[in-house]
Amino acid sequence: MAQLITPAELDDLIRAGAVRVLDVRYRLDRPDGSVEHLEGHVPGAVYVDMETELSQHGRPEDGRHPLPSTKGLQAAAHRWGLRDGDTVVIYDDDRSLGASRAWWLLTRSGVGDVRILDGGLGAWRAAGLPLETGPVVPEPGDVSLAPLAEPVLSIDGAAALAASGVLIDVRAAERYRGEVEPVDPIAGHIPGAVNLPTGAYMDGERFRDAASLRALFATVGVTEDVTAAAYCGSGITAAQAVFAAERAGLRLGIYPGSWSQWSNTPGRPIATGAAPAEVTAGV
């Protein structure tokens, strides 16, 4: 269940000592948010590293941010101080993109109460609530994580879904159209995929309300009886779309290999233009 929490509600939980807070600041142009974390974070928040804790490194054809192993994620969660039964609140400072990846991994690994801070760090500051500086090193936790509770799409599964269901590309429209590609080896999108960028789900730094999100997903054909999934550049920001879908009462899977895997795999067709499959060519 996609749950948001307000700054005031989080402040109450912190004062009661009844929450574990995770700071997942990450941006494509600034993947290491640890410096910003040290300069100011929600009191008690532990910094979570996207590159080493919420993903693992593999070959180029695996994508830039493959999912971590259950063992690796559990070791990271122990470092964060997580214990079975904890309430966990996650935030970042960029449209909950990094926070959603952590939310998705933890909820799908069996952690029952995981929430995202509505509005992120900016909302915390705007509420006039205090920041803490320096590192946070909690006592090691002992949470038990399970293997992911839902299947994720393989590259072949993504290709099949684009033809039989709805595959959403959440990257910026110009990347989807193939006009620019700042990171991956070739520009374009998976043939048949539709575009619904990350910013569409948000009102500034906050998620739109459930009714608005439900109507938004309907514009690309996602309804309760349609099988759908999302992909992005490297598998991180697609989780934001999953959170938004759950907030709207819908289900959305993830293709974690995303465009970074697709564009590094020889023989995969490429579409460009604003239509799902306007022009295609081989990788």
Of the residues 5, 24, 213, 232, only one is catalytic, namely 232
Return the half-sphere exposure (C-beta side, CA atoms, 13 A cut-off) of residue 46: 23
Give bridge partners of residue 22 from the DSSP assignment.
46, 90
Burial of 125 (0-12, 13-18, 19+ CB in 10 A): middle
Residue pair 263/270 in contact (Cβ under 8 Å)? The answer is: yes
Burial of 163 (0-12, 13-18, 19+ CB in 10 A): exposed
Residue in this structure with the two tokens 């994620």, named with its chain if needed: 73
Across 149-254, where does the E strand assignment appear?
166-169, 194-195, 202-203, 206-207, 228-231, 253-254
Is residue 211 among the annotated active site residues? Answer: no
- Amino acid sitting at position 39: E
Q: What is the CA radius of gyration of the chain?
A: 18
276 contact partners, CB below 8 Å, separation of at least 6: 162, 189, 191, 192, 193, 194
β pairing state of 228-231 and 166-169:
parallel
Residue pair 266/244 in contact (Cβ under 8 Å)? The answer is: no
Which residues have a catalytic role annotated? Answer: 232
